[in-house]
Amino acid sequence: MPSPRTQSPREAARTARMIRSVAPQPERQCFFCTSSHKFIDHKDAETLRRFMNFQMKIMPRRRTGLCALHQRALANAIKRARELGLLAYNLY
C-alpha cells in the first residue's frame, strides 16, 4: 500500500485558503428591515454616513448587508443628501 503523499507548504497554504473561502458566513440581516425605520430619510446624515467608507463612497451590498430594495433606496438618499450639501462628495 503506498504511503499518503505529504503536501508541500505551498499546497497546504492553498488548501487552507480554499477551505476558508468556502466556509459559511454568518447570515446578516438588513439594517432597515430589522429596525423601526419606516423609510430611509435623506436628511438623516448620521445614518447615511454609516453606509459610506472613509472616502465617502457608498459601500456595496456585500459589505453593508442590506437587501437589494434598501440598498437602492440608500444610494438614492445618499445622492440626494450630497446634492443638498448634507454629505460631502469626497474628503479631498
Q: Does residue 92 form part of some domain?
A: yes
pLDDT higher than threshold 70 for residue 70: yes
pLDDT higher than threshold 60 for residue 58: yes
Model confidence at 59, in pLDDT bands (50, 70, 90)?
very high
What pLDDT was estimated at residue 60?
Answer: 94
Q: Does residue 65 form part of some domain?
A: yes
Cα–Cα distance measured from residue 79 to residue 85, given in angstroms and rounded to the nearest whole number: 10
**Which alpha helices (DSSP H) does the chain contain, by range?**
9-22, 31-34, 45-49, 61-64, 68-84
Q: Do 37 and 73 meet the contact criterion of CB atoms below 8 Å apart?
A: no
Q: Does residue 62 form part of some domain?
A: yes
Model confidence at 46, in pLDDT bands (50, 70, 90)?
very high
CATH of the domain at 60: 4.10.640.10
Q: Does residue 22 form part of some domain?
A: no
The residue segments making up the domain with residue 52 are 28-92
What is the count of structural domains for the chain?
1
Whole-model pTM?
0.69
